[in-house]
Amino acid sequence: MCISFIFLWQITADNLTYQIMRLLLISNSTNPGEPYLEHARGQIDLFLKGIDKVIFIPYAAVTISFDEYEKQVQKKFSEMGIEIESLHHYRDAKKAVKEAKGIVVGGGNTFRLLKMIQQQDLTETIRFRVLDGVPYVGWSAGANIACPTICTSNDMPIVEPDSFNAINLVRFQINPHFTEEVPQNHAGETREERIEEFTIMDPSVYVVGLREGSMILIDQASINLLGSKTARIFKYGSLPREVKPGEDLDFLFE
């Protein structure tokens, strides 16, 4: 089911949770006409300042191998002086996550990503490392799994995870790559209509339509929309609304 749930630690320790957590949740990896991750490089560099090595989780990759994905990400992170170690090289993935200075989760297919994280019993391990202050960077699918569920992903369910419940680091959902554009002669549901369906089934949860080139930064109880575009906020019983970078987003912590 796609009905999200709130863990007890969130109900009893919200203030402490958000004072410690550091998340950079990015809509997409590539803007048209730009190199890979170029639009986010400055924010990633600043966010991971002082960290020389991070664990990279490549499990969302489908059309390329994990080795190829690792090389692609390492090329960009080398420009920032950061070494990545891909989790697929480790026999003891839990130990690697427990010892990580930072956690980076790449995009691709969200269902495969979550399935492999669940298969290795990493959900709680990742959650508690981030709750302990370890910085988390995720783009596209990597941003999806930071939410309570993956039910606002755009991806096809090419594999079946144990459940749709994700890492649950934030209370709201993200729809990455959000667009209101409709192809000519397209008669199917729009992205907004799909999100509306979600809010009807889960009326207590906000959904952030995060446009490409945008990201959400959560850093010690502050939350900010970064980039040049607005984000579209959805909630059952309310009309969708646009928020600009710099506007108050604290309501997403509710």
Catalytic residue among 4, 27, 155, 214: 155
Q: Which of 140, 153, 202, 214 is catalytic?
A: 140
Alpha carbon of 38 to those of 44, 48, 127, 220: distances in Å? 10, 15, 27, 25
Contact (CB, 8 A) for 249 and 223: yes
Q: Please check whether residue 130 is in contact with residue 169, taking contact to mean a CB–CB distance below 8 angstroms.
A: yes
Facing residues of 165 across strands? 149
Out of 14, 45, 88, 177, the active site residue is: 177
Residue 118 token pair = 């669940």
89 is catalytic: no
Number of residues assigned to the chain? 254
- Is 219 catalytic? The answer is no
Contact assessment for residue 58 and residue 87, using Cβ atoms and an 8 Å cutoff: yes
- Tell me whether residue 140 is one of the annotated catalytic residues: yes
- Cα–Cα dist 131/10, whole Å: 11
Active-site annotation, residues: 140, 155, 177
